[in-house]
Each structure stands twice: as structure tokens, then as C-alpha cells.
Structure 1
Amino acid sequence: MNASATDVLGGHRIVPVVVLDDPARADALGAALVAGGLPVAEATFRTPEAAAVLRRLADNDDLVVGAGTVLTPRQVDEAIEAGARFIVSPGLSADVVRRCQEVGVPVIPGISTPSEIMRALDLGLDTVKFFPAEANGGLPTIKALAAAFPQVRFMPTGGITADSAPAYLAHPSVAAVGGSWMVAGDLLRDGRWDEVAARCAASTTLYGLGAPA
């Protein structure tokens, strides 16, 4: 039986969403994530160097690295070849999901509607990415969707901050949240690795905080 996405995340409930176009900075970024106690990364396929960045991050045995913004089965293969241990997509592509299932890698497709959740269930999935979270109504929408689909777990991503994350994480249907506040573009560009590590460490304290669901 293939491992689930939540199994691969190893209990980490915040997933840093990394957009990095310089593979030479990947080693320092990986070290900062590990030092901050958040050794997880979703390296997005948004730049020409994405596969190289993912490969460098995956070379760090202390990191669990996945590929984000995966749009095609070919990108699935590229990501896995580079070392991705899970796949995240902004939308629900049956071709992408099936390719991930064929090769045995967990996939978290993006959804924003009940119909998309039903398609994900038809494909045998029970964990989905709610995206873009804030633009689609945020936590109130997740609560409404969870009431209709109690078997589904969500990873909301898009517009979530350190301030809003605790309320999401307090909801029992939220497996994890994706965010970039600890790996913000200016921090990566300026090489502020101590700040990345500090924000990661602060993020790990957000689990279980926030208003009751």
C-alpha cells in the first residue's frame, strides 16, 4: 500500500512553499529549515531551475521534499527523478493523479469546489489542497466543505500567514497548511538564513493554537 501524503509529512503540519530560482542557495535553505525544526519543503515548479533546486534540497537526508505546482504527468516524472517524495498540484488533473498513483508517490491536488472534491474521491484520494485558500473564503469555506465531506482532509494554501494559520490548524479536517511566510522571497534573495530558521521555529509553535473549530 502506498504511503499517504500525511504519512510522508511525518507529522509536520506546516509546509513551507518554496519559490527559488538559484540552486546554489538550496543547500543553505535546507540547512535553515532543518535548524528551525521544520524539515519539510514544497519546491514549486515555477522557475526554470525548479528541478535543480528540488534535487539539491532532496540531497539533504534530513529534509522531506516535495514538488509543487505540478501540472503534467511529465512534470511528475521530472520531480520524482529529482527526489520528490510527494506531489502537490494547484488543481485537480486526473492524468497527474493517476501518474502519481502509478509510480507510488503521494499526491495532493488542488480543489476549491464540492464537485472537485467528488472527483478526487472518485480517484481514490482523501487529502486535498484547498487553493487559493483565502481568496476562496478561507476557514469558513473549509468548515462548510468538511461538513459535507467528513472523510476528507484539507491542506489549505494561498494567502495564509503566521497570524491566520493557528485557526486553520485548529480545525479537525485540516491536516496541514502550506505557507511562504517563513521562506519569503526577500529572505531567500538576501540569504537571511537565520531569519528563515527563526520563522520556522516560531511556526512549529502554531500547532494546536487558535480558536476552537
Structure 2
Amino acid sequence: MLELSPVMPVVVVDDVADAVPVAEALVAGGIRVIELTLRTPVALAAIEAVAAQVPEIVIGAGTVTTPDEAKQAADAGAKFFVTPGCTDRLLEALFASGLPFLPGAASVSEAMRLAEHGVTAMKFFPAEASGGVAYLKAIAGPLPGLRFCPTGGVTIKNAPEYLALSTVGCVGGTWLTPRDAVAAKDFGRITELAREAAALR
């Protein structure tokens, strides 16, 4: 998952009709993965549409916070999960799903706890609010076997700093699919932003 793209678009869809054009615009810009967040009532339908109609992109469900959401997302066609944090029940459900997942961790203790369960790839969230690049550099020594996808406050400007770290496999960003561009159906703008992001590494 971390190697599919230097940037994983974190996408919020308010209108299910926008899901496929957004995914197609990302593919046109060279991005082959999408984290579609479960933050709106149409999210599951949007995942289903992208999974069925845009096979060139790997569709994942983001903001997964409960076992039920994980099951619903998998049933809709999600190929991986991303969570903001991770409880015992959620972690058990994620493992049981058989799908790849990036559980959220924002502290050394959270990362160590996930590592005890065999998880070595995690979402670092909220990245900037939790210390950003400096924080990841600081924990690289005691936690050398872990890799992260920092998300939260990551932009086209600071993404290269994160991507330069050996412990960072990719970054997650909302800037590739701005809500105003999606609302205006300016999919050409999304393609340009995707092209710029794909060239980061």
C-alpha cells in the first residue's frame, strides 16, 4: 500500500456522481490509489461505484472507526482500510477482514502497541499537529522497523520533507481533490494536482 504512490489522496465525496470522475481524474494524473473517507452518507455508494467502474485505481476506505464500517466498506468493494486511531475491537475486525490496513497512531505507545500485534505500517495522524517531520525523526531510532503514512496537515509544500524520511512510505493528502474543485466538477484541476503529486518521488 505504501508503495503504490508517493501521495495517497484523502477524498471526501458529497455527491456519489462525483466519485468516478474524481477517481478517473486521479488516474489521468498518474495516481493509482485513493482513500475515500467514510465521512458522508454517500461514501459507501461512492466506494462501490469506483470499485466497479475504475479498475485502474486501488480503492480504500478511510476514517474507518468501527468493525461495522469495516465490513460495510469491504462489502462495497474497498481493497484496504485506513483508520484515524485503533481500538482492540477495530484491530480484531481489521485482521479478520483479510484486507490490508493502515491503523492510525499518534504516539510512541500507540505505535508500539500496534507493533506488538505485528503491524509495521501505520497512518501517522494528525501528522502536523502531532509533531510532524521532527517527531518522526525522533522516534525512528527506538522504532526502526515501523513505516508510516503521515496524514493531517500534509501539503504539496511539506510533503517532500516527509517523503525524504526512510520511515515514510507515502503521505496522505486532501489537497489533490479540493472540495471546491469537486463541487465545480473541475476534474481537470484534480488531474493537474495529481500529476504534480505523482512527480514528488
Structure 1 residues 48-197: aligned runs within 5 Å: 48-59=41-52, 60-197=54-191
User: Identical aligned pairs, as a percentage?
Assistant: 40
CA RMSD of aligned residues (A): 1.0
CA deviation after TM superposition for structure 1 residue 56, in Å: 1.1
TM-score w.r.t. the length of structure 1 is 0.91
Deviation per residue, 1:89-120 (Å, 9 max, x gap): 00022222221211211111111111101110
How many pairs does the alignment contain?
A: 200
Once superposed, which parts of structure 1, at least 4 consecutive aligned residues long, lie more than 3 Å away?
A: none
TM-score w.r.t. the length of structure 2 is 0.96
Deviation per residue, 1:59-117 (Å, 9 max, x gap): 21111010000000010000001111110000022222221211211111111111101
Report the counterpart of residue 210 of structure 1 in structure 2.
Answer: none
Aligned mates of 2:112, 2:15 — CA distance in 1: 38
CA deviation after TM superposition for structure 1 residue 184, in Å: 1.0
Unmatched segments (≥5 aa) in structure 1 = 208-213
Higher RCO by CA contacts (8 Å cutoff, separation 6 or greater): 2
1:12 aligns with 2:5: yes
Aligned mates of 2:159, 2:127 — CA distance in 1: 11
Report the counterpart of residue 197 of structure 2 in structure 1.
Answer: 203
> Is residue 58–residue 65 contact of structure 1 (8 Å, CA) maintained in 2?
yes
